Amino acid sequence: MRDVLSAVIGKSVRQLARLRGGGSALPGLVIERIDPGFLARVLERLPHGVVAVSGTNGKTTTTKMIVELLEAQGLTVFTNRTGSNFSRGVIAAALAQCSLGGRLDADIAVLELDEAHAMHFIERVKPNFTLLLNVLRDQLDRFGEIDTTAKLLRRLADATTNGVIVNREDRLLAEIGAAAAGRVEVRQFGLSDELRAMFPSDDDFHSGGSAHAASDTGADRGPADVMLVELGDHEAVFRVDDVDHRTSLKLEGLYNTFNAAAALATARMVFAGGPAGDAGPDRFRAEATTDRLISALAEVRPAFGRGEQLELDGLPLELVLVKNPAGFRLGLASFDAAGVSAMIAINDQYADGRDMSWLWDVDFGSLADEGVDTVSGTRAWDMALRLEHDDVPIGRVEEDLSRALRGFRERTMPVDGVGRPRRIFCTYTAMLALRKELAELTEVEDIW
């Protein structure tokens, strides 16, 4: 009866919130308050358990990749597809998909978890598998020093029952993996020596690039279950079991290609089942060959706002989420600025992080030739000052996102059917606000 009551109340709140244009996490907040055990009861019924995905960068797209890899092999997967990664967001997603009896029609859950709010999640639910992507200086107003973030991720790994997958190129995560080895199965994903410089770790940002120097030959790194060995234009080569697999990709951005290696390693561990042997989906295991997994990976498209491609006025429009120096740096490196009209929208709400001083750790010189048409958001003037120091021309500064988008669109309209593609770099809350505005103008994926 508790499940029925919570499901009915949650679904009712969800419907009311949608009618009033409220937040998608509101039903989860209500049920979290009145029935704290609801999520644990729902998830413990799933026959193949829970996969948790956490880290500083790439959680949403990597979660989407894992989901689609598992679904392509026949599994039914529950996930928090909006990227709302606090416990209330996961509960809200469960309420949206469960029956009135509080049951999910799913084999397994793959859930993106915020580094700090994962601690609330593991108080009630122990993940069977955990993927840890990276540890970077992000939202220091929330987490303090980077070691604090690493400690949170270590607790998440400690709560995991079957297997942990870590980024071997991240020193802090490699240490977490080493500590977990013996208790659970640990696998690593990584980069070839030739590609390491393209994906800086936090050590690289704060040690003048010397952190990788001692291990350039790979002697100090453990074996990678999946290794990214080659990058091309929407193409990559992954090394698995000493065999190179070349594949095309629909993903955008260098960082998403590396995260694809993480997704492959996670899917492989899920089908292996981990040392306990009871979480691997036996009836699908024989189907989940490396070739089949990589074929499925080739079809995955970016998650919303993560290199998401829209069309407006007959022209392409890309949304690129930026939230820390590494993410912005890789975003700029991933997308050629030539021939593109650019806008940057920087907010400083809680979900973005209040401290925007990290913008000074990003080199914006690649934008100097084309300039930036519009700078917007609550920290528009901070962003404009940063661009000025890198000699990047700016067309307009407009704090209001709605007016900024309208002006950006008007100034970049096609003439006689010819125009330049558009690109918007934006922080999380700016992205959500812009997607809402764009939904009035063009087709935008519904993230409810």
Segment holding 432, helix H or strand E? helix 428-438
Asked if the model's pLDDT at residue 140 lies above 70, the reply is: no
CATH of the domain at 237: 3.40.1190.10
Segment among 111-115, 173-177, 352-356, 391-395 with least mean pLDDT: 352-356
Within a domain: 444: no
Segment among 84-93, 293-302, 310-319, 351-360 with least mean pLDDT: 84-93
Segment among 41-45, 105-109, 154-158, 337-341 with least mean pLDDT: 41-45
**158 and 83 within one domain:** yes
In this prediction, residue 448 has a pLDDT band, given cuts at 50, 70 and 90, of: very low
Asked if the model's pLDDT at residue 98 lies above 80, the reply is: no
Output DSSP code: residue 300. P
Residues whose CB is less than 8 angstroms from the CB of residue 32 and which lie 6 or more positions away in sequence, other chains included = 38, 39, 87, 88, 91
**12 and 118 within one domain:** yes
**352 and 249 within one domain:** no
Enter the tokens of residue 168.
Answer: 């071997």
Domain boundary among 297, 320, 337: 297
pLDDT tens-digit map of 406-425:
999 999 999 988 999 999 99
Mean pLDDT of the chain: 84
Asked if the model's pLDDT at residue 203 lies above 90, the reply is: no
**365 and 247 within one domain:** no
**23 and 81 within one domain:** yes
Within a domain: 412: yes
The CB-side HSE value for 53 (13 A sphere, CA atoms) comes to 30
Domain boundary among 297, 314, 331: 297
Higher pLDDT among residues 95 and 85, named by residue:
95
Torsion over CA: 150, 154, 155, 157 (sign): positive
**43 and 182 within one domain:** yes
Query: How much of the chain exceeds pLDDT 70, in percent?
Result: 83
**121 and 242 within one domain:** yes
Asked if the model's pLDDT at residue 213 lies above 80, the reply is: no
Mean pLDDT of 16-44: 72
**257 and 154 within one domain:** yes
Residue 23: the pLDDT is 55
Gap between the Cα atoms of 83 and 71, Å rounded: 18
Residue 202: the pLDDT is 65
Higher pLDDT among residues 303 and 83, named by residue:
303
Mean pLDDT of 48-58: 91
**242 and 386 within one domain:** no
Residues whose CB is less than 8 angstroms from the CB of residue 247 and which lie 6 or more positions away in sequence, other chains included = 235, 236, 237, 238, 294, 295, 297, 298
Under a CB-based contact definition with an 8 Å cutoff, are residues 173 and 132 in contact? yes
Tell me the Cα Rg of the chain: 22
Within a domain: 213: no
Within a domain: 380: yes
Asked if the model's pLDDT at residue 102 lies above 80, the reply is: no
Within a domain: 273: yes
Q: Which of 132-136, 222-226, 385-389 has the highest mean pLDDT?
A: 385-389
**160 and 93 within one domain:** yes
Residue 280: the pLDDT is 58
Mean pLDDT of 156-182: 95
Gap between the Cα atoms of 94 and 34, Å rounded: 16
Enter the tokens of residue 178.
Answer: 């080493």
In this prediction, residue 10 has a pLDDT band, given cuts at 50, 70 and 90, of: low
Within a domain: 217: no
Segment among 55-69, 239-253, 270-284, 346-360 with least mean pLDDT: 270-284
Domain total of the chain: 2
Within a domain: 366: yes
Asked if the model's pLDDT at residue 304 lies above 80, the reply is: no
Domain boundary among 273, 297, 321: 297
**238 and 313 within one domain:** no
Strands 341-345 and 372-376: parallel
Asked if the model's pLDDT at residue 217 lies above 90, the reply is: no
Gap between the Cα atoms of 378 and 348, Å rounded: 7
Within a domain: 215: no
Q: Which domain holds residue 425?
A: 306-438
In this prediction, residue 308 has a pLDDT band, given cuts at 50, 70 and 90, of: confident
**284 and 316 within one domain:** no
CATH of the domain at 368: 3.90.190.20
